[in-house]
Amino acid sequence: MANIRIDPFGTDEVSLLTDLYNQILSPPRDEEFFGRRFRGRHNVCVLIAGIDNRPVGFTAGFELMPSTYFSWITGVLPDFRRQGIATQLMQAQEAWAFDHHYGLLRFECLNQHRPMLHVAIAEGFDLVGIRYDTPSANNVVIFEKELSAHT
């Protein structure tokens, strides 16, 4: 596993998140996209993973319901994949959600993103459903994990 540092990131400063997102995922998004997504959300948490002071990945989430935290989006730069960075980000987000008294962590992933599906299963998430996502014309796999066993 890569030796990374994971730091919380303020949602009022989304330029780094936007830059990382646009290097990893598509279609490109602007800062306003993230501002709209976070506006009115409770307990937004953005974590940035870095190696040697270089940002290489991120995860972002927010409260879905009072007992459920939603892991909205996670990404790692292509040159840094398969080093356990996404796993470490998900573990850090899980610990954050547990520390903030959430009992359930929900994670959704496009069916085409096979490496993230593998991470979810390896991290103990249960597959609880599938829905069709019209914008991407793809199935979204829905995972959940109870956090009561997290120690």
Q: Is 45 part of any domain?
A: yes
Residue 151 falls inside a structural domain? no
Residue 97 located in a structural domain: yes
The answer to whether residue 19 is domain-embedded is yes
* Number of domains observed in the structure of the chain: 1
Please give the span between the terminal C-alpha atoms of the chain, in angstroms, as a whole number: 21
Name the least confident of 78-92, 102-116, 136-150: 136-150
Q: pLDDT tens-digit profile of 17-48?
A: 999 999 998 889 999 999 999 999 999 999 99
pLDDT value, residue 50: 94
CATH code of the domain in which 62 resides: 3.40.630.30
Answer whether 116's CB lies under 8 Å from 109's CB.
Answer: yes
Q: Where are the alpha helices (DSSP H) in 39-127?
A: 85-99, 114-122
* Maximum pairwise Cα distance, the chain: 39
Structural domain for 85, as ranges: 5-146
The whole-model pTM stands at: 0.90
